[in-house]
Structure 1
């Protein structure tokens, strides 16, 4: 029962965090990372009392974090502003609990999992929850006004007006819709509060201020500044995210001493040594048997990490000097009985001795071997690549030579450059597996320059060859290549040219990696991608939709998509059988934005198309469709009337019983929400003087006054729920 209860707590509106956005995003980042490893922790089954207690404490802390983020997404902006100190305190308390719990669990799980936990615990220890000065100032202004106890009056008070205007500008309460949403939030909080709760009086006072000055502060439209502000805050937020290539695949921390093993993969020296010391002779990532256990320093990558860390003002710690990490491997062997399995319990007995001997004796062996090894095994001039196995030695070496020639393109004549690119392209077309090994990034910039030169020479054929080579390398390479923003700008400028298909393919691959999403949007490519949807080339439509789908997962980018007026087009394409699966997912990703929920609710054809997908789509599509309806129905009770039809309810019941786990949960929640819907609009529970004029549906009720609720649907709904509530035999 405890586990089921925990699953109910979800981050429903994390993409529309109203206030304390930076703190919530920092907290959410850790919750996402921990959620990925919780199943593995549970699988390791720590049987000791301390292990079970630590795991339970971890889950409780995660649920509290999710509830806090949800609170900052659904609550009143004014109320959140005056409770800043409490939010900071709760974040710090959750952070400390997560850190302590993970540190305890770290000593009870296998090595690879311990490495991942170590990385998260290390980041938690350094985590900061930054306050936004403007929001903090707004809270102080509101509290100052509250303490003055100015009598209630219908006349304008200069002190009140000045304070309200300052708070409204800071908290983005500068449009009629924003003021209306704030009123709804206040009402929800007011309804939940008990009569003895002092918060209730404060909420009444907030509503009094909005009723009195709402029209004044709602005259300003600053959607653009809001979007720019969100961008700035997202860019300035927290510690910069390092490139994925800089992280050790075991600990997911930036590497202090990167080492290449025989599979061609790079790891932090500390973690790969511990892996080998446990008796493993396979690669932790590919699980392939290794020809040898020799390690070669990845000097090029180490230099890149050094430059990046210097630019960011960050010091990369040495894991050997981290006592909490090293202590994991000095545990008594008897403790291994508290976990499900270690790769080799016998080797655990001597792990410290092995580590010392390897550190002291390995250096000479590697230095003697390095010259010969680099000539025979590394295919490019940077010396970063090994053969994954004997069988692929020849093809990898040949491919490495080709890539080396690509890195020197600019040194040759144009005819020679074209021949090199054509040869590489032909090889890649004939052998799709040729570039499955990790390669150097040195070929990216020359290929981008080659595309620019071909474009200036109007050489469409060579543009196509160059783009095809870049796309093949991106799709088949085992590690992501490093693109700078200039390269992405160049690619974005070629979308509406003869190589549209190849460029879209490249951007699709890049858009699936979080570190490139903001660069893609900054390149101004979104309008061009939307134009692609207006062309007659159907193949391009699918790729464009995949790009939008990837980008829409980012909440800040979601606002860009919405403000480009993309929603009407997406709603229109919902009826397209080939593109509906992308549209439904994009709309679901964007439904955390107010404008999108209203657009869905106000378009009858959209509800009809969603109903069709809910009835005939795949389980994943049905999950997205139900998720959209849930978002819409939570917005306002009036919207629930839009989906009270026999077809939708029957589809929801079917999904709740036969859908995937996520779809079942969403459908069940939506059914229970609809169960409480009344035929007549609910009366406002806040009467009296201050809240008597609350009108949360004045802007939307006129749109639906011609839509009468289906009484047949309500009767049908009752029957369905009675069947649904019966326990299965």
Structure 2
């Protein structure tokens, strides 16, 4: 009886806390406002039941406790979805509408099933509250079968700009409509959206976050440029006291010469390459690191890869910033220490949790690690406060703990902390990488998945790609790619993709056997890993060892099949791999294979209807196939002529005197 009373008190306390937490979430200023408000309102209607259960304080039997535990888990999922709707990037949420609709449906199903499993007659609650809970249950029954679609025009407008080239000039009326509907009306709104966008793309573990964030950031930049260069009456923010009116925006336009030709942002550390062009140091270093030997702007071959600081331009940028009242950009070596917006009470709570991480009581340590994990997931202020309180070295030490759950909490907390750019360096400098690799090799499946995602997050910084590659992480990731759960495979593939952007890691991946595993995943009937597999193969095929391994794995027929039937992105990646295979010492062998596989038809289709990159790769392959077929025809004609000549000479006794 005592255990049942304790269980009941703990469960009802958790349920009350969850509803209070959900009630505190607000500011759904995005395309899903109606759905999010409805979901929040329905959850709040459950609060009286939990309050009555808490006040009653009686024992709760095993089956009823299990039912309430399922409802607790459903409410936790609801809280996470509502937080995403409140704090997440508005642009990301609209463009990922399929993902959001799926999450709404999953939460509705989870809540409906949890409420359906509760026998209300077993609980000491009033008739009024019972009727209210039954009403909420019926609402979720209907909600799980119908998910409202967000503003179709908004999605169409966003998607049209998202898929345009960076040099396009969208209709100002369209940009105005987007700014109003997304409520991106001030510089403050834009800054908040930019931070939320970067956090969500990184945290999502998408298969190609670099491209996603570049395109979404470019979309946001177009809206920002519109607000800065136009001066129409485009609406008043919700709280004029908190924001600057759009009509007062008079921020100067950055001179084009001050923008990096790669990122299109104002340069912080301009450097000159061999062709005389100037770029932002980090951008051109990334360009060179992936194996390019040309100038991005002029396409001229670089005679050397030395980078010379452009002190004159840096001085001009500083002078312009000062004259224009714009904050001068800080160089990477001059970071400003982030300041947390946590309240004193929140900081005290975080510091108390960190002290518990040192506890010799396993349960207390595990519980504290779990709470730090959740706090680090919640928002940027918490991530700053947790890091500033000295949690990172402690969490790193827990990566080697013998307790699987504590280890899982520790690595996931580091993953959540790493979303904040300034925390990445602290995590790596604390010696976390070997510990994370240890978790990938030995942890629970969820810990291994989150460890792989952590390596991806850290490897966004180019210099850490080298550090991670030297740590033995790549063979561990290949093992996870081979034997992990579906999510584990995706996390491993995402991390491997990012690591293999650095040329020095490609051979490590090939020697770890990644090509064989990728080909197996590529031929799975479900095709669940096709996107990731082809993206990694496209990167590895530019490396000599990678090209040999792909050829030896009999990949050509599979790649031809993808060009014929795959998605636009997969078709272009398959063509990119074949372009690399059909260059070098084994060119003839692979061209023969392509001919035998009937590649001409699929290539002609790709050249006319593929993506821009896909078209270029198809044309390159078609040109090589054309030269190969011409050589074959010349050889055939030559052999035929020799044969006919021999026959003629034999039939006319040419050599007789």
Same fold (TM over 0.5): no
Question: Under a length normalisation based on structure 2, what TM-score does the superposition of the two structures give?
Answer: 0.44
